[in-house]
Amino acid sequence: MSRATPRLALTPGEPAGIGPDLVVRLACQGNRAELVAVADPALLISRAQRLGLALSIQDFDPTVPPHPTNPGTLRVVPVALSQPCFPGRLDPANAGYVTQTLIQACDGCLDGTFDAMVTAPVHKGVINDAGIPFTGHTELLAERCGAQPVMMLAVPELRVALATTHLPLSEICKAITPKLLTRVIRTLDHDLRTKFGIHKPRILVCGLNPHAGEGGHLGREEIEVIEPVLADLRTQGLDLVGPLPADTAFVPDKLARMDAVLAMYHDQGLPVLKHLGFGRAVNVTLGLPIIRTSVDHGTALDLAGTANADLGSLIAAVEMANEMVASAAPNKEGR
């Protein structure tokens, strides 16, 4: 049975960035979910004091049934910083702390302690400077869960998933294979059903080349890879539209009939979504056995320790996690 109140693990990300500020500010507003920060309690108290916020830190007890977060309170799973942290000053000594918070939150989702995890931004460079190979949240969670994830960003008006993520343009064509495209589309369709409660998702698929290849005159990837994959998946019951030219795929009359858009590469789809809703978009990792949402922005070191960072994306990430937990509950109960 699902819990009446979702229990969400929050990871504040890079301790020198705005993540701790956002977490304590969110806690001071309260939430219908039980928010549990996986972090150094002293860091959170210090940031709250710096922001002039009254925050009560409570030890997290997994044996106590979850209840909504009261304004000004925050439950914490303590993870100690290696070195004192100062807003805006990166320190590679704390890189292990950052990855440990992610691992503990992920493991808590896997064992059922948490219903979902919500992540604030990390700083990839300083983690790698510490000698810890790190390409991002998604890759760490994929390895921890033994899964192959799909990246999707969402605002209320639009969901955009990516066939490829952080690749140079020169490598994208050879990366889009029938095997990859089949896996990504199946994952997108599956998670829209099981984590978003959409009974029969309709997915618009972008072409790779200008004008979707112009019948082969501007590239043959549509003819040789994308169209055959879509045709095969349609025989399996998936509702797929495309491949369509990306420059006309995002017009309102087409999007109004779609549940998600699949872009072939990072900068094909995300500029449209971020133009539509930057600061309130949510990064969702599909294809994991857990629910994970995240903000759509970086660490903003220059804003750390101030109240000037926009809280909108973290609020949206928490609310989407709450909605996904509710949508996923019937699927869990039915297994």
Indicate the burial class of 180 (C-beta count within 10 angstroms; 0-12, 13-18, 19 or more).
Answer: middle
Q: Give the integer Cα–Cα distance in Å for 179 and 165.
A: 16
On the CB side of 201, how many CA atoms lie within 13 Å of its CA? 23
> Has 101 been labeled as part of a binding site?
no
Closest by Cα among 52, 49, 55, 51 to 37: 55
Which position has the token pair 């990516």? Answer: 162
Which pairs count as long-range contacts for 223-231, CB under 8 Å and 24+ apart, including other chains? 225/176, 225/177, 225/178, 225/181, 226/176, 226/181, 228/178, 229/178, 229/181, 229/182, 229/185, 230/185, 230/205
Q: Which amino acid is at 133?
A: P
Count of other CB atoms within 10 angstroms of residue 251: 10
Q: Which amino acid is at 262?
A: L
Three-point CA angle 202, 295, 302, nearest 5°: 150
> Has 297 been labeled as part of a binding site?
no
> Has 266 been labeled as part of a binding site?
yes
> Has 182 been labeled as part of a binding site?
no
> Has 137 been labeled as part of a binding site?
yes
Q: Give the integer Cα–Cα distance in Å for 287 and 176.
A: 18
Closest by Cα among 48, 55, 89 to 71: 55
Helix (H) / strand (E) element for 294: namely strand 292-294
Please give the full DSSP string across 196-242, using - where no structure is assigned: T--SS-EEEEE-SSGGGGGGGTT-SHIIIIIHHHHHHHHHTT-EEEE
Q: Give the integer Cα–Cα distance in Å for 259 and 204.
A: 8
> Has 275 been labeled as part of a binding site?
no
- DSSP lists the bridge partners of residue 34 as 7
Point out the annotated binding site: 137-138, 166, 211, 266, 274, 283, 292
What residues are designated binding site for substrate?
A: 137-138, 274, 283, 292
Binding-site residues for a divalent metal cation sit at 166, 211, 266
